[in-house]
């Protein structure tokens, strides 16, 4: 596979990026407090499976075309969670402008948490995001709880403290249960339960989601529905609203104290994603059923879907720099980065659609709509001016313009499919061997003297002197595909009749006195004694 070497300086470090693929988005899960690395990894996996299920309807192949990786952007937990709380408070005050120096804040608590741990986590996240971006991938961070504070810091340092300031639109965020008082730039309005105590720290409740599973709260029932004025029912609890019914307060006395202890468990990412509350440890006290709801999950996955669509539809970071052999089947381009001139690619690119994405197909770089897996030379319905097609949905093609281009001033014809230039000034006839070599000296491989080979090597035409006698393959290729339409096209362009047999440079195996001829339009092959005068059409490599 061909490799693209890029060089970019980010925070004084060099990152070498290979295999640019602008069709991919990398998804990161930024975890909250009290989360070990194994749990963060499991949450990232839960997010991955939800993307496959919701966006790609279980189609793994489509998922792999568009998603590069789904992994955790991990921040450590410290000292049973106390360090996490201090770190979160420092981040919250810092990003909201109340403190400028995190080091001065951390110093009194150095025995509990080291600032270097915070920096290490942050730098690892920044390096991961930068690595994705210089590979051409977009970045989507799904941030939960304290992960929003880390993501805010990482985004600021990545985009405004490095050479990647241009990448802001390629970095998007979905914020869940954030303790921040604002949405991260590039993030959705916060998705938080209205009874999530951690989310309420942000006092940013414009997008609070009513949680149908909640702690006990009592409301007096009306006598109008046949109950006494002293009868009460719970209007909110850790039971689904639909399960509450008309339950009297006395029936809840045994559960109220227990249920009220679990106000914080609704903060868990798994519960936001439709999993059982507290891993199934908190049950419906009436029927023992597990408690879960897809209400927040549906909102989260809708936001993820919108962000992925937005990122997929962004313009390419790469644009055409130079063009080579335009309007021929050898049309190629070089590209340059739109925003950062230090990013370079030293290879020519197949320009199926120069305004679309840069990625690899079978080791070759293409500019095309995403989804291509093969570069095709033949396909059903191929037209004469079509050279190559990429097998994406759009079926984008490289066109050669006119297949055969005649230069009337030079009396030559260029075959844009092969880049071979053909003599087209006279209908020449020559023997494959001179009379002396064929009949007198019997030197059957000596092409000196009055021969087809010498005729071509001595030819000066169109300002060119590097003419030669063509091979069988070259003669056969000029008329390919051997159809009536292509024959008529050749007859309309070549001035000297192409629908004839012409000498090749090949001797017949086992018959040293004979050489092959090829019919130019049909590709049919036959052989003839080398002393016969037959037609000659010389060839050279085109420009």
Residue 369 gets the label, from left (phi > 0), alpha (psi -120 to 50) or beta, of beta
- Beta-carbon contacts of 236 under 8 Å, excluding residues fewer than 6 positions away, are 195, 214, 215, 216, 217
Mean pLDDT, residues 80-105 taken together: 47
Shared domain for 199 and 248, answered yes or no, is no
Question: Looking up tokens 């909110």, which residue turns up?
Answer: 236
**pLDDT tens digit sequence for 456-485:** 999 999 999 999 999 999 999 999 888 888
Q: Please report, to the nearest 10 degrees, the dihedral formed by the alpha carbons of residues 167, 173, 178, 180 taken in order.
A: 30
Domain tally for the chain? 4
Inside any domain, residue 237: yes
Q: For the ranges 92-101, 301-310, 492-501, which has the lowest average pLDDT?
A: 92-101
Shared domain for 191 and 241, answered yes or no, is no
Shared domain for 472 and 507, answered yes or no, is yes
**pLDDT tens digit sequence for 487-535:** 888 998 999 999 999 999 999 999 999 999 999 999 999 999 999 999 9
State residue 263's pLDDT score. Answer: 56
Q: If pLDDT is split at 50, 70 and 90, which confidence band does 107 have?
A: very low
Shared domain for 286 and 386, answered yes or no, is no
CATH number at residue 176: 3.40.50
Could you list the beta-strand ranges (E) of 122-165.
138-144
From 92, 289, 77, select the one nearest 182 (Cα to Cα).
Answer: 92
Shared domain for 233 and 157, answered yes or no, is no
Integer Cα distance of 198 and 180 in angstroms:
10
Inside any domain, residue 494: yes
Mean pLDDT, residues 32-48 taken together: 93
Which of 381, 399, 417 terminates a domain? The answer is 399
Integer Cα distance of 537 and 245 in angstroms:
95
Integer Cα distance of 375 and 397 in angstroms:
9
Paired sense of beta strands 364-368 and 350-351, if any: parallel
Integer Cα distance of 350 and 332 in angstroms:
5
State residue 88's pLDDT score. Answer: 53
Q: If pLDDT is split at 50, 70 and 90, which confidence band does 47 have?
A: very high
Integer Cα distance of 43 and 444 in angstroms:
78
- Beta-carbon contacts of 496 under 8 Å, excluding residues fewer than 6 positions away, are 423, 424, 425, 426, 427, 537
Shared domain for 336 and 429, answered yes or no, is no
Shared domain for 254 and 122, answered yes or no, is no
State residue 351's pLDDT score. Answer: 95
At 94, phi and psi to the nearest 5?
A: -65, -50
Inside any domain, residue 15: no
**pLDDT tens digit sequence for 187-245:** 677 888 877 877 777 655 456 787 777 655 555 544 444 444 444 555 555 555 555 44
- Beta-carbon contacts of 509 under 8 Å, excluding residues fewer than 6 positions away, are none
State residue 16's pLDDT score. Answer: 44
Complete DSSP assignment for 113-125: --HHHHHHHHHHH
CATH number at residue 484: 3.10.100
Its domain, for residue 366, covers 321-399
Q: Are 447 and 436 in contact (CB under 8 A)?
A: no
Residue 154, pLDDT above cutoff 50: yes
Shared domain for 73 and 138, answered yes or no, is yes
At 5, phi and psi to the nearest 5?
A: -100, 120
Shared domain for 199 and 234, answered yes or no, is no
Residue 64, pLDDT above cutoff 50: yes
**SS3 state of residue 112:** coil
Which of 209, 241, 261 terminates a domain? The answer is 209
Structure tokens at 243: 């399960």
Complete DSSP assignment for 407-464: ETTTTEEEETTTTEEEE-S--EEEESS-HIIIIIS--TT---SSSHHHHHHT--BTTB
Residues 336, 338, 342: CA angle, nearest 5 degrees = 60
Shared domain for 410 and 503, answered yes or no, is yes
Shared domain for 482 and 533, answered yes or no, is yes
Q: Are 474 and 493 in contact (CB under 8 A)?
A: no
Shared domain for 366 and 329, answered yes or no, is yes
Inside any domain, residue 329: yes
State residue 207's pLDDT score. Answer: 65
Which of 209, 238, 273 terminates a domain? The answer is 209
State residue 291's pLDDT score. Answer: 83
């Amino acid at each position: 596979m061909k490799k693209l070497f890029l060089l970019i300086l980010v925070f004084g470090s060099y990152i070498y990026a290979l295999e640019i693929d602008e069709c991919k988005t990398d998804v990161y899960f930024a975890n909250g407090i009290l989360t070990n690395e194994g749990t963060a990894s499991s949450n990232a996996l839960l997010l991955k499976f939800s993307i496959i299920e919701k966006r790609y309807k279980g189609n793994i192949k489509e998922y792999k075309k568009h998603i590069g990786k789904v992994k955790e952007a991990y921040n450590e937990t410290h000292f049973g969670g106390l360090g996490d709380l201090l770190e979160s408070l420092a981040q919250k005050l810092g990003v909201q402008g109340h403190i400028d120096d995190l080091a001065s804040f951390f110093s009194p608590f150095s025995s509990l948490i080291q600032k270097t741990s915070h920096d290490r986590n942050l730098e690892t996240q920044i390096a991961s995001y930068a690595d994705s971006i210089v590979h051409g991938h977009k970045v989507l961070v799904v941030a939960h709880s304290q992960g929003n504070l880390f993501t805010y810091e990482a985004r600021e340092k990545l985009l405004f403290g490095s050479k990647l300031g241009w990448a802001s639109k390629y970095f998007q965020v979905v914020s869940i249960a954030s303790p921040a008082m604002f949405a991260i730039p590039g993030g959705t309005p916060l998705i938080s339960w209205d009874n999530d105590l951690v989310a309420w720290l942000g006092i940013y409740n414009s997008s609070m989601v009513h949680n149908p599973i909640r702690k006990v709260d009592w409301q007096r029932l009306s006598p109008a529905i046949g109950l006494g004025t002293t009868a009460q029912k719970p209007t909110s609890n850790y039971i689904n609203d639909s399960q509450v019914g008309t339950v009297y307060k006395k029936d809840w006395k045994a559960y109220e104290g227990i249920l009220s202890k679990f106000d914080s468990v609704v903060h868990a990412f798994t519960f936001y994603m439709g999993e059982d509350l507290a891993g199934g440890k908190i049950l419906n006290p009436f029927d023992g059923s597990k408690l879960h709801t897809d209400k927040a999950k549906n909102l989260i996955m809708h936001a993820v879907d919108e962000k992925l669509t937005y990122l997929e539809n962004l313009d390419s970071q790469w644009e055409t720099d130079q063009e080579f052999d335009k309007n021929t089947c050898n049309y190629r381009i070089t590209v340059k980065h739109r925003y950062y001139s230090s990013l370079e690619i030293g290879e020519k690119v197949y320009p199926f659609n120069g305004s679309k994405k840069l990625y690899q197909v079978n080791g070759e770089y293409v500019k095309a709509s995403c989804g291509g897996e093969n570069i095709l030379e033949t396909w059903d319905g191929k037209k004469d001016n079509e050279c190559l097609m990429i097998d994406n949905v759009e079926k984008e093609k490289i066109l050669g313009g006119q297949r055969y281009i005649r230069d009337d001033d030079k009396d030559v014809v260029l075959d844009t499919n092969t880049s071979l230039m053909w003599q087209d000034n006279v209908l020449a006839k020559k023997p494959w061997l001179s009379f002396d070599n064929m009949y007198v000296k019997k030197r059957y491989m000596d092409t000196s003297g009055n021969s087809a080979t010498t005729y071509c090597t001595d030819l000066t035409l169109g300002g060119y002197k590097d003419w030669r006698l063509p091979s069988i393959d070259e003669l056969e290729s000029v008329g390919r595909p051997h159809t009536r339409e292509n024959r008529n096209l050749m007859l309309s362009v070549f001035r000297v009749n192409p629908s004839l047999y012409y000498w090749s440079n090949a001797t017949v195996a086992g018959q040293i006195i004979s050489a092959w001829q090829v019919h130019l339009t049909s590709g049919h092959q036959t052989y003839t004694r080398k002393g016969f005068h037959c037609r000659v059409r010389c060839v050279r490599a085109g420009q």
